[in-house]
């Protein structure tokens, strides 16, 4: 197991990557990130020699209250991932290069019980974590996960008919969008 990243040419032989379209039966995917999975740095599936594409590997580790260092916390969220930010830099001979992309995955948690509130408070320690995120079809992050920082806060609305929410952002930088596979937990 290893990080699966695209191979970039080291000379001027760049080729347009392969694409696929189907006018009669297009393959599309619905939005909304609904699950976030977090574990400690050094506890990726690759680190532990596990296959992240199988449900037994996930189910043996998902534990929201366990104390094992390799436990994966499963957060139920409403989330989205906008296009990553990058900066263009013109170098000699009018060539253009691009900085690593900056990603900001926004999330909301509407279950604001005491345990989730203490989780929020614990984020004040400014830790770094490994994250995977999922929707109804795919899970993103590969077998190594995505090393992220988390900025979050409690939102208490003025309207008594609205819910308190934990809102935040997972942030990371990478040259490539994260690897994805069919979600083995569905």
Torsion angle, alpha carbons of 79, 83, 87, 89, to 10: 150
In the block, tokens 């929201």 appear at: 64
Dist. CA 42–CA 80, nearest whole Å: 26
Q: What angle do CA 90, 86, 140 make, to 5 degrees?
A: 145
User: Is the whole model's pTM more than 0.85, yes or no?
Assistant: yes
What is the average pLDDT value for the chain, to the nearest integer?
Answer: 95
Q: What is the DSSP letter of 135?
A: -
Residue of 180, 157, 182, 181 lying closest to 167 (CA atoms)? 157
Confidence at 3, pLDDT banded by 50, 70, 90:
low
- Above 60 in pLDDT, residue 1? no
Q: Residue 4: its pLDDT value, please?
A: 77
Q: What is the mean pLDDT of residues 67-82?
A: 97
């Amino acid at each position: 197991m290893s990080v699966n990243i695209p191979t970039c040419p080291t000379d001027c032989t760049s080729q347009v990557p392969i694409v696929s379209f189907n006018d009669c039966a297009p393959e599309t995917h619905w939005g909304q990130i609904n699950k976030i999975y977090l574990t400690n740095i050094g506890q990726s599936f690759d680190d532990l020699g596990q296959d992240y594409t199988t449900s037994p590997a996930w189910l043996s580790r998902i534990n929201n209250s366990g104390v094992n260092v390799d436990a994966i916390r499963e957060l139920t969220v409403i989330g989205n991932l906008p296009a990553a930010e990058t900066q263009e830099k013109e170098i000699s001979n009018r060539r253009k290069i691009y900085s690593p992309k900056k990603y900001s995955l926004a999330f909301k948690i509407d279950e604001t019980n005491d345990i989730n509130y203490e989780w929020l408070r614990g984020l004040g320690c400014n830790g770094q974590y490994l994250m995977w995120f999922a929707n109804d079809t795919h899970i993103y992050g590969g077998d190594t996960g995505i090393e992220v920082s988390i900025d979050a806060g409690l939102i208490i609305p003025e309207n008594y008919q609205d819910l308190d929410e934990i809102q935040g952002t997972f942030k990371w930088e990478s040259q490539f969008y994260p690897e994805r596979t069919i979600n083995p937990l569905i």
